[in-house]
Structure 1
Amino acid sequence: MRTRELTLILACCALPAAAQDLMRSVEMPAHRALADTIEGAELTPFETDGCSGGLSSSWRMVAETFPKFSLLYEEHPPWEYCCVTHDRAYYNAGGASQAEASFDARLAADDALRTCVKTHGESHADEYAERYDMTPDQIRSVHSITSEAMFLAVRFGGGPCSGLPWRWGFGYPGCTIFGPTARE
């Protein structure tokens, strides 16, 4: 699939305001449950896996298995620092303790991840183009597509109270939407 075709597919997935409102209403019970959990809870020590969903761990495994890959592409995703910053926001629910603020903070953290990965590609386009035998525009396109895919992945799989290790508010005890908050 060509870069332009993939960009068009991802662009079609951008959500209009009505869909954002629907997402907010669907996600709010989990943010309310998280807010109830945060009240009086202590944070666990911060940990990060780099880019979640196996991205960093898979990259490292390939780099260890194929030394030439490691020499060319490094031992971790070059934008991994973006993921660590994103993990810090997810760890403590962006510092939000109220449900509405939590939703807004999560959306801002996910958008910041997208922007960071895209900006990384823009700022390293010339360097990577030479290194990977590509054009700077191809480097920018690849980072743009990657940033959009990562944004969609964290929006889909990073909600609070999901039980997943990379969930929003993962530094707090687990929570569930099936408790008293869900009936309110």
Structure 2
Amino acid sequence: MRDQDGVTLAPFTTDGCSGGMSATWKTVADMFPGFADLHEHTPPWESCCVTHDQAYHVGGADLTPKASFDARLEADQILEQCVLATAAENYDMLQAEYGVTVPQIDTAFRMISSAMFDAVRFGGGPCSGLPWRWGYGWPQCWPG
């Protein structure tokens, strides 16, 4: 993908869920086979993180500040909702394994999704120099 100035979007990369979440999950799964059998080797919401990374990589279709801000907020809200949706996908397994209720599962997933939302809002701003910043597929602070 090129813009009118000949700047090229870097190839897409992802670390799954940032902040060490995917890496830590994998380490725990490798150390405890029972955990891996039950929860697999990646967080149940990792696909949500990859979709979120795809949005962050491009940084929105419209580069005007307001449109870009809105696109980032929407991407972060979609991440939060996607993580919440994984609760329902795991109700039966979590209830059976841990003896918890659906409201307890929903509360836990709301806490996780809210913490993830806050983390990406805080740490994912454009022009931060961080590798997971909004628009990370483009040169730093491009266009600018």
Which runs of no fewer than 5 residues in structure 2 stay unpaired? Answer: none
1:121-146 C-alpha deviation (Å, 9 max, x unpaired): 13432332223332222111111110
TM-score by length of 1: 0.70
Cα offset, 1:99, TM superposition: 1.3
Cα RMSD after superposing both structures: 1.7
1:63 corresponds to which of 23, 29, 33: 29
In the alignment, which residue of structure 2 is the partner of 1:171? 137
Cα offset, 1:70, TM superposition: 1.2
- The answer to whether residue 111 in structure 2 is matched with residue 145 in structure 1 is yes
2:44 corresponds to which of 63, 75, 78: 78
TM-score by length of 2: 0.89
Cα offset, 1:69, TM superposition: 1.9
1:106 corresponds to which of 53, 72, 75: 72
- The answer to whether residue 90 in structure 2 is matched with residue 136 in structure 1 is no
Alpha-carbon distance in structure 2 between the residues aligned to 1:158 and 1:110: 10
- The answer to whether residue 16 in structure 2 is matched with residue 50 in structure 1 is yes
1:160 and 1:169 in contact (8 A); partners too: yes
- Give 4+ residue runs of structure 1 displaced > 6 Å after superposition: none
1:125 and 1:137 in contact (8 A); partners too: no
Give the count of matched residue pairs. 140
Q: Bigger relative contact order, structure 1 or 2, given CA contacts below 8 A and separation 6+?
A: 1
Identity of aligned residues (%): 52
Going from structure 1 to structure 2, the CA distance change for 1:104 and 1:39 (only over 3 Å counts) comes to: farther
- The answer to whether residue 56 in structure 2 is matched with residue 90 in structure 1 is yes
Alpha-carbon distance in structure 1 between the residues aligned to 2:55 and 2:23: 20
Query: What SS does the corresponding residue of 2:139 show, helix, strand or coil?
Result: coil
Alpha-carbon distance in structure 1 between the residues aligned to 2:17 and 2:101: 26
Alpha-carbon distance in structure 1 between the residues aligned to 2:4 and 2:132: 20
Which runs of no fewer than 5 residues in structure 1 stay unpaired? Answer: 1-37
Alpha-carbon distance in structure 2 between the residues aligned to 1:62 and 1:141: 23
Going from structure 1 to structure 2, the CA distance change for 1:133 and 1:122 (only over 3 Å counts) comes to: same
